[in-house]
Amino acid sequence: MAEKVRCAVVGLGRVGYSHAENLATKIKGAEVVAVAAARQERAAAVARELGVDKSTNRPDDVFLDPQIDAVIIATPTSHHRDMIKKAAQNGKHIFVEKPITQTAEEADEATRIVHENQVLCQVGFMRRFDPAYAEAKKRVAAGDIGKPIYFKGVSRDPGSPPPDYIAHSGGIFLDLSIHDYDIARYLLGAEIASVTAFGNVLAHPFMKECNDVDQAVTYLTFDSGASGDVESSRNAFYGYDIRGEVIGTEGSIQIGSLRHHDLKILTPAGKTHDIIPDFPTKFKDAFLLQMIHFIECIRDKQKPSVTETDAKAALLIAEAATKSYRTGATVEIASGVCQ
Amino acid sequence: MAEKVRCAVVGLGRVGYSHAENLATKIKGAEVVAVAAARQERAAAVARELGVDKSTNRPDDVFLDPQIDAVIIATPTSHHRDMIKKAAQNGKHIFVEKPITQTAEEADEATRIVHENQVLCQVGFMRRFDPAYAEAKKRVAAGDIGKPIYFKGVSRDPGSPPPDYIAHSGGIFLDLSIHDYDIARYLLGAEIASVTAFGNVLAHPFMKECNDVDQAVTYLTFDSGASGDVESSRNAFYGYDIRGEVIGTEGSIQIGSLRHHDLKILTPAGKTHDIIPDFPTKFKDAFLLQMIHFIECIRDKQKPSVTETDAKAALLIAEAATKSYRTGATVEIASGVCQ
Amino acid sequence: MAEKVRCAVVGLGRVGYSHAENLATKIKGAEVVAVAAARQERAAAVARELGVDKSTNRPDDVFLDPQIDAVIIATPTSHHRDMIKKAAQNGKHIFVEKPITQTAEEADEATRIVHENQVLCQVGFMRRFDPAYAEAKKRVAAGDIGKPIYFKGVSRDPGSPPPDYIAHSGGIFLDLSIHDYDIARYLLGAEIASVTAFGNVLAHPFMKECNDVDQAVTYLTFDSGASGDVESSRNAFYGYDIRGEVIGTEGSIQIGSLRHHDLKILTPAGKTHDIIPDFPTKFKDAFLLQMIHFIECIRDKQKPSVTETDAKAALLIAEAATKSYRTGATVEIASGVCQ
Amino acid sequence: MAEKVRCAVVGLGRVGYSHAENLATKIKGAEVVAVAAARQERAAAVARELGVDKSTNRPDDVFLDPQIDAVIIATPTSHHRDMIKKAAQNGKHIFVEKPITQTAEEADEATRIVHENQVLCQVGFMRRFDPAYAEAKKRVAAGDIGKPIYFKGVSRDPGSPPPDYIAHSGGIFLDLSIHDYDIARYLLGAEIASVTAFGNVLAHPFMKECNDVDQAVTYLTFDSGASGDVESSRNAFYGYDIRGEVIGTEGSIQIGSLRHHDLKILTPAGKTHDIIPDFPTKFKDAFLLQMIHFIECIRDKQKPSVTETDAKAALLIAEAATKSYRTGATVEIASGVCQ
Q: Which helix (H) or strand (E) holds C138?
A: helix C131-141
- Asked if this assembly's ipTM is beyond 0.85, the reply is yes
- Distance CA(C64)–CA(C89), nearest Å, equals 10
CB contact (8 A) between residue C249 and residue D221: no
pLDDT number for residue A319: 97
CB atoms < 10 A from the CB of D6, how many? 16
CA A159 to chain centre: 18
pLDDT number for residue D1: 43
pTM: 0.94
CA C172 to chain centre: 13
* Residues near B184 by beta carbon (within 8 Å), at least 6 away in sequence: B151, B153, B192, B220, B222, B228, B230
Contact A56, A62 (CB under 8 A): yes
CB contact (8 A) between residue C198 and residue D219: yes
Contact C99, C209 (CB under 8 A): no
Task: Give the Å distances, CA to CA, from B161 to A108, A250, B43, B276, D94.
Answer: 48, 17, 22, 17, 69
**pLDDT exceeds cutoff 60 at A316:** yes
Q: Is the CB of residue C152 less than 8 Å away from at least one CB of chain D?
A: yes
Q: How far off is chain B from A281, nearest CA to CA, in Å?
A: 20
pLDDT number for residue B198: 98
Instruction: Kindly report the average pLDDT of chain C as a whole number.
Output: 96
Q: Is the CB of residue B51 less than 8 Å away from at least one CB of chain C?
A: yes
Give the pLDDT band of residue A336 (cuts 50, 70, 90): low
As to burial, measured by CB atoms within 10 angstroms (0-12 exposed, 13-18 middle, 19+ buried), residue A13 is middle
Q: Which helix (H) or strand (E) holds C229?
A: strand C227-233
CA C307 to chain centre: 12
* pLDDT tens per residue across span C30-43: 999 999 999 999 99
AA letter at B27: I
Under DSSP, the state recorded for C217 is E
Q: Closest by alpha carbon to A69, among A43, A31, A106, A107?
A: A31
pLDDT number for residue C57: 97
CB contact (8 A) between residue C275 and residue A268: yes
Return the partners of chain C (3 or more C-beta pairs < 8 Å).
Answer: A, B, D
pLDDT number for residue B336: 64
Q: Is A319 left (phi over 0), alpha (psi -120 to 50) or beta?
A: alpha
**pLDDT exceeds cutoff 60 at D338:** no
Give the pLDDT band of residue A283 (cuts 50, 70, 90): very high
**Helix, strand, coil % over all residues of chain B, rounded to 5:** 40, 25, 35
**pLDDT exceeds cutoff 90 at A85:** yes
Task: Give the Å distances, CA to CA, from C285 to A241, C19, C131, C291.
Answer: 35, 12, 8, 10
Please compute the mean of the pLDDT values over residues A213-230 and round it to a whole number.
98
**pLDDT exceeds cutoff 70 at D279:** yes
CB contact (8 A) between residue D254 and residue A267: no
pLDDT number for residue D72: 98
What residues of C are in contact with residue A266 (Cβ under 8 Å)? 238-239, 258, 275
CB atoms < 10 A from the CB of A281, how many? 12
Give the pLDDT band of residue C338 (cuts 50, 70, 90): low
Contact C60, C86 (CB under 8 A): yes
pLDDT number for residue D17: 96
Please compute the mean of the pLDDT values over residues C143-159 and round it to a whole number.
97
Q: Closest by alpha carbon to C177, among C148, C147, C157?
A: C157
Q: Which residues pair with C307 in a beta bridge?
A: C122
**pLDDT exceeds cutoff 70 at C2:** no
AA letter at B11: G
Low-confidence residues of chain B, pLDDT below 70? 1-2, 336-339
Contact A9, A35 (CB under 8 A): yes
Helices D104-117/D308-327 angle, 10° precision: 170
* Residues near D82 by beta carbon (within 8 Å), at least 6 away in sequence: none
Alpha helices in chain D (DSSP H): 14-25, 40-50, 60-63, 80-89, 104-117, 131-141, 163-167, 172, 178-188, 206-209, 279-282, 284-300, 308-327
CB contact (8 A) between residue A249 and residue B203: yes
Q: Which helix (H) or strand (E) holds C295?
A: helix C284-300
CB contact (8 A) between residue C238 and residue A274: no
Helices A284-300/A14-25 angle, 10° precision: 60
For an interface test with A, which of D262, D283, D289 has the most A Cβ atoms less than 10 Å from its Cβ? D262
CB contact (8 A) between residue D266 and residue A253: yes
CB contact (8 A) between residue A265 and residue D26: no
For an interface test with C, which of D220, D224, D240, D247 has the most C Cβ atoms less than 10 Å from its Cβ? D247
Least confident window among A229-233, C99-103, D334-338: D334-338
Contact D337, D312 (CB under 8 A): no
Residue C199's SS3 state is: strand
pLDDT number for residue A140: 98
**pLDDT exceeds cutoff 90 at A188:** yes
What are chain D's domains? 5-119 (3.40.50.720), 127-282+313-332 (3.30.360.10)
Q: Which helix (H) or strand (E) holds C22?
A: helix C14-25
Q: Is the CB of residue B257 less than 8 Å away from at least one CB of chain D?
A: no
How are beta strands D148-156 and C5-10 bridged, if at all? unpaired
CB atoms < 10 A from the CB of B49, how many? 14
- Distance CA(D123)–CA(D29), nearest Å, equals 20
Return the partners of chain A (3 or more C-beta pairs < 8 Å).
Answer: B, C, D
- Distance CA(A189)–CA(C282), nearest Å, equals 46
Residue D225's SS3 state is: coil
Residue C208's SS3 state is: helix
pLDDT number for residue B1: 43
